[in-house]
Amino acid sequence: MPLSYRKSKLRRRSRVIGWSWRLWKPRIVFWLGAIAIGVVSVGFAAAADEAQTLFRALNASSRFGYLIPLALTPSGFLLCALLSMKLFPNAQGSGIPQAIAARHLEDADARHGLLSLKLAAGKILLTVIGLFCGASIGREGPTVQVGASIMLASGRIGGMAQARGLILAGSAAGIAAAFNTPLAGIVFAIEEMSRTFQSRANGLVLTAVILSGLAAMGLVGSYTYFGESMVSATTPRDWVAVVLCGVVGGALGAAFSRCALAASRRIRLWAHPDPFRRMLALAAACGLAVAVIGIATGGQTFGTGYEESQRVLAGEPLSPMFFIAKLGSTFLSMVSGIPGGIFAPSLSVGVGLGGTIGSMLGASIGLSAILGMAGYFAGVVQAPMTAFVIIIEMTGNHEAVLPIMAASMIGYVTSRLVSPEPLYHGLSRAFIAQAIRQRRNVVRADEHLATSRQHG
């Protein structure tokens, strides 16, 4: 073949690739989807913060403020459970298990049942309602489901067939935009969502994280979630705190994970005869218990626990009862079945645990709070790289990188000894099984209809 002919063919191919709308449409839609995740995440964060502020203001405005949670929290839990079952099925809980389950499903309709724009809207609405009612939940896990839903919808509009890669990219973008932690979003996608390194999805994940992060930064600017922290391990007691926060935090996180998985299985069996009424009753009972715990702690366990965490990270000690009560209210909020994540509440539990250990040892309370956060969070999600990367980015602390990494790894190893099954992946199995059952029912119905027509 002549050289001039090959050059001419190459130029024609370059023009086709460079200007063909058919080739550029998927990329443009994908980019717009990633930007939308950043914008939606910022709006979600603002609504969630405003909901918590209104709840606290409502309690403070009355002489008998403790009576308000007793009425508002159980009724709010009841409303969220009712709406999630009637209008937004599969919106309950964190949202991360749904995204993991969707990646394992081959059927597009089954994936759509777990990740859709309707579910994303319902997830945001019900999480905000839950925070307004004092539930111990966070918006970060739900943002994963929202991000994955937006990205999957973008893929359908743009004609992209990489459903698993799109879910991975949307989940990473959601975490990155929710915490303003781009590196943690990437690590979360690799370590927690896929549990493997997929080179083909690298470009999707990286592009989605960059664009969603830029969109969020353009709206709220660059910030550190918990503010800047410069504490470091300077004494032998600080290094003892590293070990204790890792061991105790990992064991406590594993216990939470194991109990949550066991409770979710027992609740499904208990609710099976009459799931609608029984789940509503459970939600109301859990809401009442969360209200009682919140009142007993002076309101410290309501919401995400962000303000309490900031005080401990600044070196202000809290009562040891804080992390115990926060753990209980987070567990109750999770098993109630209402939409809401455990990321932020888990970080608050870890901060309280670490601060308590630091006070007992006479070590730095601020450093111990960060270490407790790393150990406990790694114990809950069993993703040590995600734990230490997200905590370093959230606190801006580069002085204590090695202690944070060590606490995360110790917490992970301890957690694996106590609870071999990761929390999110264990919870995702129920959604996978449900999707398989629904698919089988559809196939059987189609076969029955075909048989009836043949004999008819």
Spatial distance between the Cα atoms of 296 and 375, rounded to a whole number of angstroms: 27
| CA–CA distance, 125 with 6 (Å, rounded to integer) | 58
| Domain spans in the chain, listed from the N-terminal domain onward | 22-220, 236-432
Per-residue pLDDT tens digits for 261-312: 999 999 999 988 888 999 999 999 999 999 999 999 988 999 888 888 888 8
Q: Which of helix, strand or coil describes residue 347?
A: helix
pLDDT at 326: 94
* 22-220 shares its CATH topology with 236-432: yes
Considering only CA atoms, which of 85, 32, 55, 100 is closest in space to residue 424? 100
Q: Is 2 exposed, middle or buried (0-12, 13-18, 19+ CB in 10 A)?
A: exposed
Closest CA to 243 of 391, 324, 327, 358: 358
pLDDT of the residue at 16: 47
Angle at 128 between CA 124 and CA 134, to 5 degrees: 150
What is the predicted pLDDT for the residue at 65? 62
Is residue 456 very low, low, confident or very high in pLDDT (cuts 50, 70, 90)? low
For the whole model, what pTM was predicted? 0.88
CATH topology of domain 236-432: Clc chloride channel (1.10.3080)
How does pLDDT run across 211-248, given as a tens digit for each residue? 888 888 888 877 788 878 888 888 899 999 999 999 99
Q: Is the pLDDT score of 199 beyond 70?
A: no
> Is residue 226 exposed (0-12), middle (13-18) or buried (19+ Cβ within 10 Å)?
buried
The structural architecture, per CATH, of the domain 22-220 is Orthogonal Bundle (1.10)
Task: Give kind and range of the element (H or E) at residue 212.
Answer: helix 202-220
Residue 201 has pLDDT above 80, yes or no: no
Distances (CA, A) of 390 to 39, 284, 289, 373: 21, 34, 31, 10
Q: Which residue in 23, 53, 420, 410 sits closest to 244, CA to CA?
A: 410
Instruction: Tell me the C-alpha to C-alpha distance, in Å, between residue 68 and each of 30, 55, 58, 291.
Output: 45, 9, 8, 9
3-state secondary structure of 317: coil
Beta-carbon contacts of residue 221 (< 8 Å; ≥ 6 apart): none
Q: Among residues 278, 297, 286, 280, which one has the least CA distance to residue 260?
A: 286
Q: Give the type of residue at 139.
A: R
> What is the spatial distance between Cα 160 and Cα 25, in angstroms, rounded to a whole number?
10
What are the tens digits of pLDDT across the range 375-411? 999 999 988 888 888 898 888 888 889 999 999 999 9
DSSP 98-148: HHHHHHH---HHHHHHHS-HHHHHHHHHHHHHHHHTT-S-BSHHHHHHHHH
Give the 3-state DSSP-derived string for 40-70, with helices as H, strands as E and coil as C. HHHHHHHHHHHHHHHHHHHHHCCCCCCHHHH
In this prediction, residue 158 has a pLDDT band, given cuts at 50, 70 and 90, of confident
The values of phi and psi at residue 341, to 5°, are -95, 175
Contacts of 284-287 with C-beta under 8 Å, sequence gap 24+, read 284/74, 284/75, 284/77, 284/78, 284/81, 285/74, 286/77, 286/332, 286/333, 286/335, 286/336, 287/73, 287/74, 287/75, 287/76, 287/77, 287/78, 287/133, 287/135, 287/336
> Could you count the other beta carbons within 10 Å of the beta carbon of residue 228?
8
Residue 198 reports pLDDT greater than 60? no
- Digit-coded pLDDT (tens) for 10-40: 455 554 445 566 777 778 888 898 899 999 9
- Alpha-carbon distance 170 to 192, whole Å? 14
Is residue 377 within 8 A of residue 174, CB to CB? The reply is no
Higher pLDDT, 64 or 121: 121
CA distances in angstroms from 189 to 144, 205, 319, 346, 439, listed in the order given: 10, 8, 35, 19, 27
